[in-house]
Structure 1
Amino acid sequence: MADVTAGATPSPSETRPVRFRGGGFLPKPRRIIGFITFAVILLAWELGSRSGVIPALVLPAPSEAWAAFMDLVRSGNLQKHLSASLWRLFLGFTFGSILGLIVGTAIGLNSLARSALAPLVSAIFPIPKIALLPLFIIWFGIGEGSKVATILFGCFFPTVIATYGGIDSVDRALIRMGQSFGLSRVDIIRKIVLPAALPAILSGMRISASISIILLVAAEMIGAEYGIGAYVLLAGNLMSTDQLIAGVAMLSVFGLTVNYLITLAERRFLAWRN
């Protein structure tokens, strides 16, 4: 006799919930791991410096760098250095990104602009921007203008390339669908093209922000009285490695802050990817 129970429906007590498998490769945040990694590195560094394994002249202990940072705070120079660097970084990155978005969008959407500007961008982009600083000094003087222009020029090109590259990668089927529904060109650009290109644009801005910090330090090392770059240069000339490490740590905080702000923008504007 055939087994009549073979095709029977299992009872509710025998069923098990199936884990959701539609998350793709979406990474899960593990913030505590990052803090633990930093803590372990700092602890090993401190112990190595105090035990003499790491020479103090080569790499001072984190506690010594912290003491140098507190001396900078007490002297009142920290605010002068930070305010000068933040203002230059803000102006250069903001205007460079805005101009890069405008030019990149024009190249991505307009054939004439692409034919005229894309070869120019490709020709100038590989030039090390810090090599143009002497030229900017001749044009804008030794003051703030040349430093801001260097940062602006440095973050302009990555933003342009990321913008029109993101526009080129938009699925054409989405554009044809918008056209079939009678959307105007402006609506297609605003509701389909730019949102779909936004992940690439934000990735380009993340890269240009890092380049801006590098150019900020390089520009401040040439003819700046205040700024993190000027502080690091002076510490290096005096062989004050504790102050040097403190300045580098402040630059690292700059990078982490910018990265955090761009991450917030990605969560805000790219929530549809989840």
Structure 2
Amino acid sequence: MADQPLRTTPQDDTPRPVPYRGGGFAPRRMPLVTGLFFALLFGLWALGSARGWIGPLTLPPPGDVLAALARLIETGDLWRHLSASLMRLGLGWALGAALGVAVGLMVGLFSLARATGLPLVTALFPIPKIALLPLFIIWFGIGEPSKVATIAFGVFFPTVINTAGGVAGVPRSLISMGQSFGLSSWRIATRIVLPGALPAILTGFRVSASIGIILLVAAEMIGAEYGLGALVLNAGNLMRLDLLIAGVVVLSALGLVVAFLLGLVEKRLLRWR
């Protein structure tokens, strides 16, 4: 039997819409889900307290915590504690972050700074910074300088590491291009290296801000009359769990506000991404 020719069917040239799948895991803001999640946690807390599943010595009812928070606001104690903490956190974080960015840029750009500074930072970074608070008290006294120094010291190291990592991630082809066009080292550092390392630097700011709040509370528990750490410590000594949890709520709100402000800064500075 002779070979039969293959039958072919005409191809369908009708254009078909192709679904777009290039979202790239872009984050979406879901404030409703966030609000519902916190409302669910609050409801479970209230339900557990009302049914007796959560004892008052374990976690006071949310109504008692809100009442304690209202008394802090009414008497003005909240502002006295919060203003003292904000001053210490602002000074310590600004000092540590500024020095961390400067040292991180030098470590990332210069071989001599990398050979000397990176091993030192790597050796000192794992040390619990709160363990050095007695040493800072001996050096700077029991007052504000020791507390600011503790916060600055803790903020310094993650900022250095993130800044140096961001500089190392800048494509060397861009730096070579700048050198080929005769740009000075200062212009290369400010126009090419710093913008390229900015995402990593801002990530370091987020991490260091959280570390700064942790060290703030620990530093204020030693020799501080006012501050959120002093408030929490005194409430714990008096077994005032409602006041203690109210202080923790204020600390959590402070962390959320700091993260929100850093998010605004990141959104403004990284519009080019």
Calculate the TM-score normalised by the size of structure 1: 0.92
Letter in 2 for 1:6: Q
* Alignment pair present for 1:85 and 2:69: no
What residue is the counterpart of 2:132 in the other structure? 132
Are 2:73 and 1:70 aligned? no
Deviations 1:241-269 (A, max 9, x none): 11111000011011111111111111111
CA gap 1:4/1:183 in 2 versus in 1, 3 angstroms:
farther
Give 1:39-188 correspondences, 5 Å limit.
39-188=39-188
Letter of the 1:228 counterpart: L
Question: Sequence identity, in percent?
Answer: 59
Q: Structure 1: which amino acid aligns with 2:211?
A: I
The total of aligned residue pairs comes to 268
| In 2: Cα distance, 1:194 partner to 1:25 partner | 26
1:272 is paired with a residue of what secondary structure? coil
SS at the partner of 1:271?
A: coil
**Aligned equivalent of 2:3:** none
Separation in 1 of the partners of 2:41 and 2:70?
21
Residue identity matched to 1:199:
P
**186-195 or 155-164, which moves further after superposition?**
186-195
In the TM superposition, residue 116 of structure 1 has moved relative to its aligned partner by 2.1
Residue identity opposite 2:27 in structure 1: P
Change (3 A) 1:183 1:24: farther
1:103 partner letter: V
Q: Return the offset for 1:20.
A: 3.9
- Structure 1: where are the runs of 5+ without partners? none
Structure 1 Cα separation of the partners of residues 91 and 11 of structure 2: 73
Corresponding residue for residue 4 of structure 2 = none
Mapped to 2, the partners of 1:89 and 1:247 lie a distance apart of 16
Structure 1 distance, partners of 2:151, 2:268, is 26
CA distance in 2, matches of 1:201, 1:158: 9
What is the alpha-carbon distance in structure 2 between the residues aligned to residue 96 and residue 61 of structure 1?
39
Are residues 1:190 and 2:190 paired?
Answer: yes
Distance in 2, Cα, partners of 1:257 & 1:195: 25
The AA in structure 1 aligned to 2:164 is Y
Q: CA–CA distance in 1 between the matches of 2:76 and 2:51?
A: 33
TM-score by length of 2: 0.92
Question: Cα–Cα, structure 1 residues 126 and 42, in superposed 2: closer, same or farther, change >3 Å?
Answer: same
Residue of structure 2 in register with 1:256 after alignment: 256
Q: Deviations over 1:171-204 (max 9, x none)?
A: 2222223333443322222222111111111111
Structure 2 counterpart of 1:120, which letter? Answer: L
| 2:272 paired with 1:272 | yes
Counterpart of 2:76 in structure 1: which amino acid?
Answer: G
In structure 2, distance between residues paired with 1:6 and 1:250:
67
CA-CA distance at 1:33 after TM superposition: 1.1
Q: Which residue of 1 aligns with 2:238?
A: 238
Q: Which amino acid aligns with 1:194?
A: L
Please give the alpha-carbon distance, in whole angstroms, between the structure 2 residues aligned to 1:7 and 1:237: 80
**119-128 vs 154-163, which deviates more?**
119-128
CA distance in 2, matches of 1:44, 1:230: 29
Aligned-partner SS, 1:224: coil
Query: What is the letter of the counterpart of residue 105 of structure 1?
Result: L
